[in-house]
Structure 1
Amino acid sequence: MMTTTELAQVLFATALQPSDRLSPYQIRAAVDERLCACGGDPDWCAAYVAQEAGDHPERYVVRMRWALDAVAGAYAPAAA
């Protein structure tokens, strides 16, 4: 099981944008697709995120905040 932070790093590494109106299903599908493209290695996504944070710190903060919020909603347990 991956943490919210790990899932957010994977989502961050996708082409999806914060301005996209995405369903939880679309977010989970994008995370799964990116993980498959990386051979199932979330460390690749973490390295990409680190590079983006260094290269574009002003955009990193906004995108990571979006990614964290998006995966928190998409992977939230269903209400009983």
Structure 2
Amino acid sequence: MTALDTEEVRSEALFVSHLQSSQHPTPEVIRAAVDATVDRLGEQGCAALVAQEFGEHPDCALDRMRWARHAIQSAYAA
């Protein structure tokens, strides 16, 4: 898996996790939520839920994915 693929999976997992941007989660909390979500749903399950949310709530999903991508980049910065 490439770094881009890994970032995509992590972003999708954070997107479908219980965390909210308003909670201002720390990098540690973000990484734990990503791991737990991938363990619970798997990569394909995360992707499926992201697709469902974009289909049902495209107005909210875009902002949430932007937050998830930014949070993942920050939480996993080298």
Q: TM-score, normalised by structure 1?
A: 0.88
Map of 1:71 onto structure 2: 72
Deviations 1:2-32 (A, max 9, x none): 5211110000111111111111000000001
Q: 2:12 aligns with which of 9, 16, 21?
A: 9
Highest Rg: 1 or 2? Answer: 1
Deviating above 3 A after TM superposition, structure 1's stretches of 4 or more consecutive aligned residues are none
Q: 2:9, 2:37 → 1: CA distance?
A: 12
Question: Higher helix proportion, which one?
Answer: 2
Aligned length: 75
Q: Which runs of 5+ in 2 are unaligned?
A: none
Q: 1:30 aligns with which of 22, 28, 33?
A: 33
Map of 2:44 onto structure 1: 43
Q: Which amino acid aligns with 2:23?
A: D
